[in-house]
Amino acid sequence: MDIVAEKEIKIGYHPDYATINNINTFGYEGYGYELFEEISKCTGRKYTFVSGTSQELVQMQKTGELELNGPYEKTAEREQESAFTSHPIGSENVILCAPLDAKIAFNELEKIDGKRVATIQDFYTGEFDTFLDANNLKVEYVDCNELELMYGLENNEFDLILASTMFKMPNMKVVLDLGSHPLYFAASKENQFIIDEIDNALDQIYKKDLKFTSKLYQKYFSGEEYPKKGLSKEQEQLFQEKNVFTVGFSPDAAPVQYLNKDGKPAGICIDIMNIIAREANITVNYVPLKPITEDIQQTVDINLSYLSEYIDKDHFYATSSYLELPLSYVGKSNYHVTENIRLAVPNFAFIDYSKLTKHGNFEIIVDLPSITERFLALNNGTVDYIIASNVVTDIVLQK
């Protein structure tokens, strides 16, 4: 079949996986289904779905019975055989889950040792085995399908479930998190043009709505039937002693964290902190912080404003990265580079901007602390370039 001329692309999916679900004989639903409905508007192609086990789908892709497969984690080994989309279509965390009433806290490793662990077709066992070996732990695997997972705990067939955050598991809590992995769709090398079509379509989708896939993820994977992380032993003890926390944030770093027109904290980081507070059943009081300097001594329990590489690990505890904001140089499209470039930068005393002089003649301007002031200066020509996050830049360009 000449796929270039044909309009239909067949996509393999696993029926126990939540991205594409066959709800009845008349249609589908799910994160992946809605995503490809939107992609179809850009490519003009029809996408149909073929179910099977992981092994069956890989073989079908090799024999040409289907053109796309996924979602998968991108690995060096898989990239030797398949072409992957550049854009991730989402992400998942590999997790170990226990019943809500189980007497096991998050990361309580000694209570994992020797347990019977249910898996679906050996999903994630390789990564889990590496973790077990590193911590001198052993478990017994019990292979199940999705239906067996629902009744296996009641029938005492296993103790824990190894799965991902894309699996529905009501009345369960996460007791171990092996980390987050971006997911991609894959095609055979000769079908690279299909991957290019999808990447181009995703570019168009994100230009219209930066949060398109985030909204889909929220729609399908945020319900109560999806397991949430349990508390560690230390957290359980802390929350028994303290339930109200002060949280510092930057008041002028929109859309990440800022004071809105009503003088209330808002932004991505604030939304995330509010979710954490709700899930942990704690109260947070927000405190706007001044621009970060080396000698700042403001008393808060939690600070949302730090970049990971500038945290003093000797005096502070830090979470894993919860938000990634790539930075770019931003300038007008009709600007011609001169010998002396006026560059407006965030006023962070812990960043050594003198290193930029190695890459050209920069006049570093640090007296424009807010992103709004820097964009205004760029617009009226008092600076040539600014440094801004890609998220902020995309929002400004859209407006």
Report phi then psi at 158, rounded to 5. -160, 170
pLDDT in tens, 230-257: 878 888 788 888 889 999 888 877 778 8
253 or 207, which is more confident:
207
Q: What is the mean pLDDT of residues 365-373?
A: 75
* Confidence label for 76 from pLDDT (cuts 50, 70 and 90): confident
> Is residue 54 over pLDDT 80?
no
Query: Which amino acid, one-letter code, is at 139?
Result: V
| CA angle (280 as vertex; 276, 284 as ends), nearest 5 | 65
Of 302, 313, 185, 208, the C-alpha closest to 248 is: 302
Q: Give mean pLDDT, residues 367-382.
A: 82
Task: Give how far Cα 287 sits from Cα of 117, 284, 298, 317, Å.
Answer: 44, 10, 9, 19
| Predicted confidence (pLDDT) at residue 369 exceeds the cutoff of 80 | no
Is the model's pLDDT at 359 over the cut of 70? no
**Confidence bin at 17 (pLDDT 50/70/90):** low
What 3-state class would DSSP assign to 376? helix
Token duo for residue 293 = 């300097």
Task: Say which residue, 302 or 1, is predicted with more confidence.
Answer: 302
- Please tell me the predicted confidence (pLDDT) of residue 350: 47
Weakest-pLDDT range from 114-123, 191-200, 347-356: 347-356
- pLDDT of 30-41, one tens digit each? 888 899 999 999
Q: What is the DSSP letter of 189?
A: G
Instruction: Please write the tens of the pLDDT for every residue from 146-202.
Output: 678 778 888 889 999 998 887 778 888 999 999 888 889 999 999 999 999 999 999
Query: What is the predicted pLDDT for the residue at 174?
Result: 93
Q: Write down the pLDDT at residue 310.
A: 55
Task: Answer whether residue 315 shows pLDDT above 90.
Answer: no
Q: What are 376's two structure tokens?
A: 């205004």
- Check pLDDT > 70 for residue 351: no
Q: Mean pLDDT, the chain, as a whole number?
A: 82
Residue bearing the bigger pLDDT, 216 or 336: 216
**Positive or negative: CA dihedral 130, 319, 374, 340:** negative
User: Which of the residue ranges 56-60, 139-143, 310-314 would you say has the lowest mean pLDDT?
Assistant: 310-314
CA 374 to chain centre: 29
Percent of the chain with pLDDT over 90: 27
- How many CB atoms within 10 Å of residue 365? 19
Query: Which amino acid, one-letter code, is at 81?
Result: E
- What is the pLDDT, as a whole number, of residue 349? 46
Q: What is the rounded CA–CA span in Å between residue 130 and residue 88?
A: 25
